[in-house]
Amino acid sequence: MNTDLIIIGAGPGGYETAVRAAKAGLQVVVVEKEHLGGTCLNAGCIPTKCLCHSAEEIEALKNSNIEMAAPSILQFFHSSILRKNEVVEKLKAGVAQLMKTPGITLVEGEARFIDQHTVAVDDEQYEAKNIIIATGSRTKFLPIPGAHAEGVVTSTEILNLDHLPQRLAIIGGGVIGLEFASIFRSFGVEVTVIEFCKEVLPNFDRDLAKRLRTSLKKRGIEFHVGAAAKEIHEGSPLTVDFEEKGKTQSVEADLVLMAVGRAANLESLNLADVGIETTPRGIAVDEHMQTNVPGIYAIGDVNGLMQLAHAASAQGKVALKKIISEERRVKSEEFATALAQEEKSNLNSSLSIIPSAVFTVPEAAMVGQTEEQLTEAGIEYKAHKAFYRANGKALAMEADDGLVKILTDAEGRILGCHILGAHASDLIHEATLAMRLGATIHDLADTVHAHPSLSEILLAAAEA
């Protein structure tokens, strides 16, 4: 079968790009071997955030001095799992409907390259001038004894538990590890986090990460930072050995979550025979998301640039812009319109301004550079701070734990923004848009903000 574009993988990057391409007049074949929506919808962003919401409801009860008994918490946990499944199925149905967009052909199965323009799925072959690889990522495991022992789970399995462990040990203090630590602590589980780096959230501003760890410690989560997991002993309970400050220690747990990152899904694609270059992080791409092989692109987790669903979607736009701009024939009026719109856009510059969020209690979010990165680069900057405890809306919400930090250069251009506190994942977009449009901190300070609102914390930081 000949087509205009083949997309391997139906996660956010894959299916959203497919819809845009089809609306632009391209004939698109989408290949998916497992579940529509990819990791994000089935075992990542969406189901995790469903449980985060349930955890927030428990925390709200605690703030109102309402304590739930253990049987009630377990029942609520079971209800939360059921609700999570319902949300996932509803959204999967929505993606399935999108795959019925005119111009899209959905193929179920595992894809592998035959040559630079041909992909095989089972016994069928599909040819296209352009191919986008959007196969996502899989959970990494530490190469230590007992890493695959019974009772060691990944984020996929922990999302479908039918019980609450009394003790949970989490190896990895990144986004995934901290979100599950926060969730299960809300459900009354004793949680221990073992992180190899000197601080949790290694890619975040260190000040923000330390403050978040302090907040989570106050909720009863135990942390071991600068600690290397060495071995997991199978049994009941499990025992995790780790080395911290030159001393070997151990922690017992009923369940161990392996949360040490994700690796690009490359194994089944047959990339080497086609000559596609890879790095330890994933498929190597240029600024257009194109690989070293013309006409073959890689977006999302599989290229290792930024493992975020919204980054995959943005990269898909960049790849499609390149594909459309190189099409010399106009297939339809819609295609011509899309070409004009894409040529006017400046998507590539947006990829350097992508926000990240951690849905713990409290939340954390960031965009742009950290203080550590600016210092290392020798860039002079000023830090503007404001605290949740001085904000009326935060006090009314009983959410006074947190801060906003905006980093600027001498002219007031915003270099980065870091937020810890309630609704940080929502507030970060004001700074993101300001950075995208080249607004200064003075513009932010001159913008009227509604009162009382959490957004006034950004205003206070801008005026600081």
Spatial distance between the Cα atoms of 251 and 191, rounded to a whole number of angstroms: 10
Strands 238-244 and 227-233: antiparallel
Q: 362-463, what's its fold?
A: Enolase-like; domain 1 (3.30.390)
Q: In one letter, which amino acid is 192? A: T
Would you give per-residue pLDDT tens digits along the chain (464 residues)? Answer: 899 999 999 999 999 999 999 999 999 999 999 999 999 999 999 999 999 999 999 998 988 888 888 789 999 999 999 999 999 999 999 999 999 999 999 999 999 999 999 999 998 999 999 999 999 999 999 999 999 999 999 999 999 999 999 999 999 999 999 999 999 999 999 999 999 999 999 999 999 999 999 999 999 999 999 999 999 999 999 999 999 999 999 999 999 999 999 999 998 899 999 999 999 999 999 999 999 999 999 999 999 999 999 999 999 999 999 999 876 444 444 445 554 554 445 555 568 899 999 999 999 999 999 999 999 999 999 999 999 999 999 999 999 999 999 999 999 999 999 999 999 999 999 999 999 999 999 999 999 999 999 999 999 999 99
Catalytic-role residue among 163, 384, 429, 451: 451
- Give, as one character, the DSSP assignment of residue 301: G
**Helix orientation angle between 12-23 and 70-98, rounded to the nearest 10 degrees:** 30
163 is catalytic: no
Q: Where are the domains of the chain?
A: 2-36+99-139+263-350, 152-260, 362-463
CB 158 within 8 A of CB 142: no
Fold identical between 2-36+99-139+263-350 and 152-260?
A: yes
DSSP class of residue 195? E
> Which CATH number applies to 152-260: 3.50.50.60, 3.30.565.10, 3.20.20.80, 3.30.450.20?
3.50.50.60
Tell which phi-psi region holds residue 377, choosing left (phi > 0), alpha (psi between -120 and 50) or beta. alpha
The token pair that represents 406 in the structure block: 């905006």
> By the 8 A CB rule, do 320 and 313 touch?
no
Tokens 């919204």: give the residue.
310
Instruction: Count the neighbouring beta carbons within 10 Å of the beta carbon of residue 446.
Output: 12
Using alpha carbons, list the distances in angstroms from residue 164 to 115, 456, 462.
49, 39, 44
CATH superfamily for domain 2-36+99-139+263-350 = FAD/NAD(P)-binding domain (3.50.50.60)
Helix (H), strand (E), coil (C) string for 112-164: EEEECCEEEECCEEEEEEEEEECCCEEECCCCCCCCCCCCEECHHHHCCCCCC
Residue of 4, 316, 11, 319 lying closest to 135 (CA atoms)? 11
Residue partners of 454: CB distance under 8 A and separation at least 6: 388, 391, 393, 394, 421, 422, 423, 427
Q: How many residues are recorded in the chain?
A: 464
pTM above 0.85, yes or no: yes
- Could you give the residue ranges of the DSSP H alpha helices within 219-357? 271-274, 309-326, 333-344, 347-350
